[in-house]
Amino acid sequence: MKKYALLFLITLVIQCVAVAQQPVPFENEIKAFEQQDQTTPPPKNPILFTGSSSIRLWESLKTDFPDKVVLNRGFGGSTLPDVIRFADRAIIPYKPKQVVIYVGENDVASGKVTAQEVFDRFVTLFTAIRKPLPQTDIVFISMKPSPSRRKYLSITQEANALIKNYIAKQRRAQYLDIYSAMLDANGQIKGMYFRPDSLHMLPAGYALWTEKLKPLLK
């Protein structure tokens, strides 16, 4: 019995060490931001964009807002818990005058969360930003209606509505309804905004986002 107990203990220790050695998701991406900051100091008090791939892939961000000082700190594939986890490294240190957020769609697409859970996660992120940066304006870009994720659109719409209602009660916070803007007059998704994967956006999609977002930027 002692032999088996010892083998079990050794196995358990090995498993714990293996788990401990697994990298935290997106740690490499965050370290890359930090290394970039050491090489090229980031601008002071920027408008910081954070969130998932729709932010990370916004390659025309600086040229779309030529009169603004913008900083892209999006990391593709991220969920709300990921952005929350790295807020103290990828948002707060920059002391942004405004934070533009696009995240939540990957949470919904996991198929494991309710609209209420997505909303609760958003509130946690909002608080994580607002508490250390009380004077910073926050803009949430609503989750978009990606064609490849049609089966989740009811949850997306419900979560968007919950977040919209919450933001309406907050100071220095705005909600940008991009979901409706990406539908035609019949309520159908405009495919012209999306890449062949029916998830990520073409330049036309970013042009629409730019048009809608410009009036909200400080």
Domain residue ranges in the chain? 26-216
Strand partners, 189: 183
User: Tell me: the pLDDT tens digits for 108-137?
Assistant: 999 999 999 999 999 999 999 999 999 999
pTM, whole model, 2 decimals?
0.89
- Residues 6+ positions from 129 with CB-CB distance below 8 Å: 87, 91, 92, 99, 136, 138
User: Tell me: the pLDDT tens digits for 51-93?
Assistant: 999 999 999 999 999 999 999 999 999 999 999 999 999 999 9
For residue 23, the model assigns a pLDDT of 74
CATH code, 26-216: 3.40.50.1110
